[in-house]
């Protein structure tokens, strides 16, 4: 079996676990994101996910990094790491987005990927005067949208007349010289999401949850017909707390949970803006965890050996990419690279190994 890959979530809206942590500034700036991604690459991490929001989902008075301009800049600054930019179809026409994607693919020399997210924050759209259809209608829109984007990224000359879009003999150039098209990641666990993953995705991002639940999701997706597409691969979002002993890790988890309780007002306000039909929100509500997209619900809390063993079990179940969160992010990212990943055979690079990093 090949080694697992490891990625990090860029801190696009600040801290991932708690917004009032004395050990970590709640910093969503470009300067911080740039430095963190460059360090992640130097440490040997394989990917970074740059989530997309037009405004901070917890508090619109807080900062929020813009995904696509930031990813284009990261493409020019990095040399090895995969750059995964999230996209909400309702914010960009598929022709415009496909052109942007191909440009970042060229800047990065074949390291770009997009993560389709069919949106959950209604206020983000409504405040901008943009339509926010009900859950299944968003997925129907997203299916037509990504079908067009995929064909355009492949360099096809596209003619299409659908419910939402009309394209007449359009071809984008320059085409992708590194592969057929950039990789497509999809999230979501509802039935429309699973159907879309099987029809269009290369990798399914699963939100952090226990191993048995992840096994069930993988089995369901793997059984779905794929047509001419290669077998679906799987990624997992998770928040890591690793220490010398299980007890030390659990104590740190308790500290972060207590700090997260101080964000109850922010989180309650955020929930009022969320579509209740989104499965991720219901899944997260069932677990007391820190971090976004499932966070510590995946169980990656414990000694270095414990966390490595749990990662190995997820990998054996079919997870090929772990998209990780930490807090304080930079210090815990280093700890994971130095103490956990070597236990799985994953390479760790010295900080000077990534050319061009200053």
Residue range 239-254, pLDDT digits in tens:
999 999 999 999 999 9
Burial class (CB in 10 A: 0-12, 13-18, 19+), 291: buried
Q: Give pLDDT, residue 1.
A: 62
CB burial readout 47-81, b (16+ within 10 A) else e: bbbbbbbbbbbbbeeebbbebbebbbbbbebbeeb
Q: Give pLDDT, residue 48.
A: 98
Q: What is the mean pLDDT of residues 318-331?
A: 98
Tell me the pLDDT tens digit for each residue of 297-313: 999 999 999 999 999 99
Q: Is the residue at 191 inside a domain?
A: yes
Tell me the pLDDT tens digit for each residue of 217-235: 999 999 999 999 999 999 9
Q: Is the residue at 355 inside a domain?
A: no
CA distance 50 to 69: 11
CB 25 within 8 A of CB 64: no
Structure tokens at 195: 């159907």
Average pLDDT, the chain: 91
What range does the domain containing 26 cover? 5-344
Q: What is the mean pLDDT of residues 175-200?
A: 96
Number of domains in the chain: 1
| Higher pLDDT pick, 21 / 352 | 21
Q: Give pLDDT, residue 257.
A: 95
State percent of the chain over pLDDT 70.
90
Question: pLDDT band at residue 353, thresholds of 50, 70 and 90?
Answer: very low
CB 354 within 8 A of CB 35: no
Q: Give pLDDT, residue 349.
A: 45
Q: Is the dihedral of CA 272, 274, 277, 283 positive or negative?
A: negative
CATH number of the domain that 84 lies in? 3.20.20.30
Question: pLDDT band at residue 267, thresholds of 50, 70 and 90?
Answer: low
Q: Where are the beta strands (DSSP E) in 219-300?
A: 233-239, 241-243
Q: Is the residue at 354 inside a domain?
A: no
Question: pLDDT band at residue 36, thresholds of 50, 70 and 90?
Answer: very high
Tell me the pLDDT tens digit for each residue of 89-135: 999 999 999 999 999 999 999 999 999 998 888 888 888 999 898 99
Q: Is the residue at 352 inside a domain?
A: no
The label of the residue with tokens 């496909």 reads 98
Q: Is the residue at 358 inside a domain?
A: no
Q: What radius of gyration do the chain's Cα atoms show?
A: 19
- CB-based contacts of 187, cutoff 8 Å, min separation 6: 115, 116, 117, 193, 204, 205, 207, 280, 293
Cis previous bond, 328, omega within 30: yes
Helix, strand, coil in percent for the chain, rounding step 5: 45, 15, 40
Dihedral-angle region of residue 188 (phi above 0 means left; psi in -120 to 50 means alpha; beta otherwise): left
Q: Give pLDDT, residue 112.
A: 98
Q: Is the residue at 111 inside a domain?
A: yes
How far is C-alpha 110 from the chain's CA centre?
A: 18
- State the pTM of this model: 0.91
The label of the residue with tokens 């399914």 reads 204
Question: pLDDT band at residue 315, thresholds of 50, 70 and 90?
Answer: very high
| Higher pLDDT pick, 122 / 160 | 160
Q: Is the residue at 349 inside a domain?
A: no
Q: Give pLDDT, residue 356.
A: 29
- Where helices occur in 118-179 by DSSP H, the ranges are 122-126, 135-153
Q: Is the residue at 318 inside a domain?
A: yes
CB 179 within 8 A of CB 111: no
- For residue 342, pLDDT over 70 is answered with yes
The label of the residue with tokens 């200053």 reads 358
Three-class DSSP category at 128? coil
Three-class DSSP category at 49? strand
CA distance 220 to 305: 30
CB 13 within 8 A of CB 54: no
């Amino acid at each position: 079996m090949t080694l697992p890959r490891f990625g990090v979530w860029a801190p696009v809206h600040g801290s991932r676990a708690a917004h009032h942590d004395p050990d970590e500034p709640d910093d969503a700036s470009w300067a911080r994101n740039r430095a963190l991604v460059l360090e992640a690459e130097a440490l040997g991490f394989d990917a970074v996910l740059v989530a997309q929001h037009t405004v901070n989902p917890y508090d619109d008075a807080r900062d929020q990094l813009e995904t696509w301009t930031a990813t284009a800049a990261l493409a020019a600054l990095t040399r090895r790491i995969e750059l995964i930019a999230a996209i909400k179809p309702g914010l960009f026409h598929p022709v415009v987005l496909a052109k942007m994607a191909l440009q970042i693919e060229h800047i990065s020399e074949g390291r770009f990927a997009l993560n389709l997210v069919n949106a959950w924050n209604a206020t983000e759209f409504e405040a901008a005067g943009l339509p926010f259809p009900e859950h299944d209608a968003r997925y129907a829109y997203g299916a037509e949208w990504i079908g067009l984007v995929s064909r355009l990224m492949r360099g096809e000359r596209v003619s299409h007349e659908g419910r939402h879009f009309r394209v007449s003999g359009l071809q984008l150039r320059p085409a992708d010289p590194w592969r057929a098209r950039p990789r497509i990641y999809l999230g979501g666990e509802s039935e429309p999401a699973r159907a879309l993953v099987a029809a269009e995705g290369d990798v399914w991002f699963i939100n952090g949850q226990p191993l048995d639940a992840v096994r069930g999701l993988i089995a369901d997706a793997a059984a779905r017909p794929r047509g001419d597409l290669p077998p679906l691969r799987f990624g997992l979002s998770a928040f890591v707390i690793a220490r010398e002993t299980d007890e030390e890790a659990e104590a740190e988890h308790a500290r972060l949970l207590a700090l997260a309780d101080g964000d109850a007002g922010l989180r309650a306000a955020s929930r009022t803006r969320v579509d209740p039909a989104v499965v991720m929100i219901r899944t997260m509500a069932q677990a007391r965890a820190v971090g976004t997209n499932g966070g510590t619900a995946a169980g990656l809390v414990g000694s270095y050996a414990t966390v490595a063993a749990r990662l190995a079990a997820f990998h054996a179940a079919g997870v090929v990419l772990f998209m990780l969160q930490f807090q304080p992010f930079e210090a815990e990212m280093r700890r994971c690279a130095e103490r956990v990943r070597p236990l799985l055979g994953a390479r760790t690079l010295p900080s000077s190994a990534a050319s061009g990093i200053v």
